[in-house]
């Protein structure tokens, strides 16, 4: 399974989302590849993604996609990430 995290540079906040999503997925014992990317490279990486994690600002720019777009409010709250990932993947 593939999960993509999106932010403006593909480095900072998407990196934090990637790191914390990987921690949560490990705890949930879900095997997934998590890729951090910026908006520009989204078309290349989103093709096979099941879930896109991002903040509300990017939802419109992400536009139409087959992936489940999940908005995270607090990037450091692993409980929020756990709940939303479980819902998206369940």
Chain positions contacting other proteins, by CB under 8 A: 7-9, 11-13, 15-16, 18-20, 23, 36, 39, 54-58, 61, 73-78
Q: What angle do CA 75, 70, 32 make, to 5 degrees?
A: 80
* DSSP structure string for 21-54: HHHHHHHHT---EEEEEETTTHHHHHTT-SEEEE
CB of 60 to other proteins, least distance (A): 10
CB of 15 to other proteins, least distance (A): 4
* DSSP structure string for 58-71: GHHHH-S-SSEEEE
- Nearer to other proteins by Cβ, of 60 and 90: the residue is 60
CB of 73 to other proteins, least distance (A): 4
- Nearer to other proteins by Cβ, of 15 and 90: the residue is 15
């Amino acid at each position: 399974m593939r999960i993509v995290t999106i932010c403006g540079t593909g480095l900072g906040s998407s990196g934090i989302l990637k790191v914390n999503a990987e921690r949560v997925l490990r705890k949930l014992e879900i095997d997934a590849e998590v890729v951090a990317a910026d908006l520009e490279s989204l078309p290349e990486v989103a093709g096979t993604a099941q879930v896109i994690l991002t903040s509300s600002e990017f939802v419109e720019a992400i536009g139409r996609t087959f992936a489940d777009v999940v908005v995270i409010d607090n990037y450091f709250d692993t409980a929020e990430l756990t709940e939303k990932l479980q819902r998206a993947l369940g």
